[in-house]
Structure 1
Amino acid sequence: MNIELIEEEGELFLYVPSNKRFAEIKELLSKIKNDTINVVKVDRLSLDQMKLIWSLCNDYGELRGYTREEMREALENEFCNSKEIEYFSISPFKRDCCSMKVATDFIQFIIEHAIKHDYNLIVYEGKGDNRVAKRLQDISPDIRRYVIQCLLHKRCAVCGKLVEVDLHHWDSVASIGGYKHDDGLQTRFLPLCREHHTEFHNIGKDRFSNKWHIEGVMLSKNLVKKLKEVYPNHFQAFKEGKNDI
C-alpha cells in the first residue's frame, strides 16, 4: 500500500502502510506541514463506487451461494474478458485500481448480469433506522440500458417481478392511431407487472415517474425485432422488410 492523502466527507485522512514506524509517520507529518505538496491528479474509482460494487457482490453472492469476494472475482473476470482489459483492483488505495469510468461500466455490468440470470438485487444503504433499500433502477448508471434489459427478459422495471409482465406503452398509443399503427418506433416502452401497470393508469405518467424514478425508453429497429419474439402480440405495424436498417 502506498501513502495516500484522501478527503472523505470534508475531512482529510492520511493512509499509511501498517508497517510504518511511529517515527517515520511523525517525520512525514512534519514534511507535510513544512514543505510544498505537489498535487498529482489520478483517475481512480471513488469510495462510493467501491462500496456499491461490494454491496452488489455481497447481495448477488448470497443469492448464488458465493462469498462477496468470490462473486466479485467471478464477475470481474467475466467483465475483463468481455472488455479485453487487464484485471484491476476496486480499492482506490491501490496503485492498480480502476478508473471511475471502468467502475461505472463494471457496476452497470453487474446489474445487467443479474437481470439476465433472473436475480433481483437489492442494495442497502445506511444503518439502523436510517437503513434504506435501493433497487437496481435507483443505482443503475445507465437507466436506459437497465430498462432495455428488463424489456428483453420480461421483467418488471419497478419491482423485478418475472410473472405477468406486460409491455407497457409509456406514451398513449392513441397518439399514433391505435395498436394497429404501432411499429414500436414512435412511442416509449416500459415492462411492468400487473400491479405497477395498474398503478400507472391510476396515478398517471408524471406521478408514476416521480415516485419510481423511471420512465419508458424509445426502441431501435433491432430492438423491436428482438422484442417481437418476447411480446408476440405487439408491434402490429412493424414490417421487417420495410423497417430494416
Structure 2
Amino acid sequence: MMETGSAWIQKGYGIIKYDVEPNWEHIATINDGNLQGVPVEVNYVDPRRARPRQRRLYYALLGDIINWSGEAKDYLDEYFHNLYWEKTCGQEISLSNNTTNTVSDAKRMIDYVIDFIFDNEVPVKQGYELLPRNEEHFQYQSVMHKSCLICGQHADVHHIDTVGMGRDQTKVDHTKHRVMALCRIHHTEYHKIGPSEFCKKYHLTKPGIKLSEEDLKKLGIKGNYNE
C-alpha cells in the first residue's frame, strides 16, 4: 500500500504527515514486530503538470517497442497503463494534453517503459534523441545492462571520479565513486574533449551515478566495501 503525505525536512532529518493513517500493525509485522527503525523510501514529487516532451518520449519509445515486437499500439499502451495501475496500487495516469497527472507521474510511467526496453534489449531508434540520459534511472539501467549511455552499444563501466592512478582497484570502496557506461568510442571521446565539453555535447548535467555495494558486486566490480 502506498502512503502519501507532506513533509517538513531539514538536512539530516524530517517530519512526515500522512494523508492516510498507515497500517501500523502491518508495518510492525514486516519489521520483526518493531515500529522503530523502520526503513522508508522518500520520493520528492514534481507537482507540475506532465510536460509535452514527456508525452513525445513515451510515444516515441512505444513506437520502438511496436517495431521490435509487432504488437499493436493500443495493446502496448494498455499494457503500460495497466502496469502503472498495478505498481501504484490503483492510480490512473493520462499523458494527454489536458492531463491532470504530474511530471513525477509521467516520469514513473516512462521509467517502466525504459525498464522494459533494457530488460528486453529493444533497439531504440524513434526515441533516440529524446532519451533521458540526464536522469539517474536511465543511467542506472544503462550501467547495469552495460549499454552505452550515448549510443546504446555494448559498454564497459568506467569511473567518472578519480580513484587514484595505479591504485589497487580491489582496495577501493567503489560505492563512493560515480560510474558511467560508455562504449570504447564514447569513452575515448570523453577523455579526448574532457568532461565539460562531453556533457555539453550530450546534454548531461548529471554525468555518472553512484551504485550500491550489491549492484557493484552484480557487475563483478571487486573492492574494499568495509572501509
Distance 2:108 2:188 in 1: 34
1:20-58 CA distance string (max 9 Å, x none): xxxxxxxxxxxxxxxxxxxxxx97534443333222212
TM-score between the two structures when normalised by the length of structure 2: 0.67
Match of 2:108 in 1: 105
Kindly indicate whether residue 226 of structure 2 is the aligned counterpart of residue 236 of structure 1. no
Match of 1:26 in 2: none
Distance 1:46 1:213 in 2: 18
Distance 1:204 1:115 in 2: 28
Kindly indicate whether residue 139 of structure 2 is the aligned counterpart of residue 147 of structure 1. yes
Deviation at 1:204, TM superposition (A): 2.0
TM-score between the two structures when normalised by the length of structure 1: 0.62
Task: Give the residue type in structure 1 aligned to 2:132.
Answer: Q
Distance 1:135 1:176 in 2: 38
1:51-108 CA distance string (max 9 Å, x none): 33222212222122123222211122112211212344332447xx634432222122
How many residues were matched structurally? 179
Distance 2:168 2:60 in 1: 44
Deviation at 1:189, TM superposition (A): 0.4
Contact 1:168-1:189 within 8 A present in 2 as well: yes
The 1:182–1:51 alpha-carbon spacing in structure 2 relative to 1, beyond 3 Å, is same
Task: Give the residue type in structure 2 aligned to 1:213.
Answer: H
Distance 1:207 1:49 in 2: 26
Unaligned runs of 5+ in 1: 1-41, 125-132
Deviation at 1:176, TM superposition (A): 9.8
Contact 1:137-1:157 within 8 A present in 2 as well: no
The 1:78–1:185 alpha-carbon spacing in structure 2 relative to 1, beyond 3 Å, is same
Distance 2:48 2:196 in 1: 38
Match of 1:129 in 2: none
Match of 1:89 in 2: 94
Structure 1 segments, 4+ long, off by >6 Å, are none
Contact 1:182-1:237 within 8 A present in 2 as well: yes
Instruction: Pick from 33, 52, 59 the counterpart of residue 57 of structure 2.
Output: 52
Kindly indicate whether residue 142 of structure 2 is the aligned counterpart of residue 137 of structure 1. no
The one of the two structures with greater contact order (alpha-carbon pairs below 8 A, sep at least 6) is 2
Q: Larger C-alpha radius of gyration, 1 or 2?
A: 1
Match of 2:69 in 1: 64
User: For the aligned residues, what is the CA RMSD?
Assistant: 2.7
The 1:135–1:89 alpha-carbon spacing in structure 2 relative to 1, beyond 3 Å, is closer
The 1:71–1:159 alpha-carbon spacing in structure 2 relative to 1, beyond 3 Å, is same
Task: Give the residue type in structure 1 aligned to 2:150.
Answer: V
- Which one is further off, 103-112 or 169-178? 169-178
Task: Give the residue type in structure 1 aligned to 2:223.
Answer: Q
Task: Give the residue type in structure 1 aligned to 2:215.
Answer: K
Deviation at 1:158, TM superposition (A): 1.2
User: SS at 1:190's partner residue?
Assistant: strand
Identity of aligned residues (%): 25
Deviation at 1:190, TM superposition (A): 0.3
Task: Give the residue type in structure 2 aligned to 1:170.
Answer: I
Deviation at 1:184, TM superposition (A): 0.9
Distance 2:190 2:141 in 1: 20
The 1:203–1:178 alpha-carbon spacing in structure 2 relative to 1, beyond 3 Å, is farther
Deviation at 1:182, TM superposition (A): 1.8
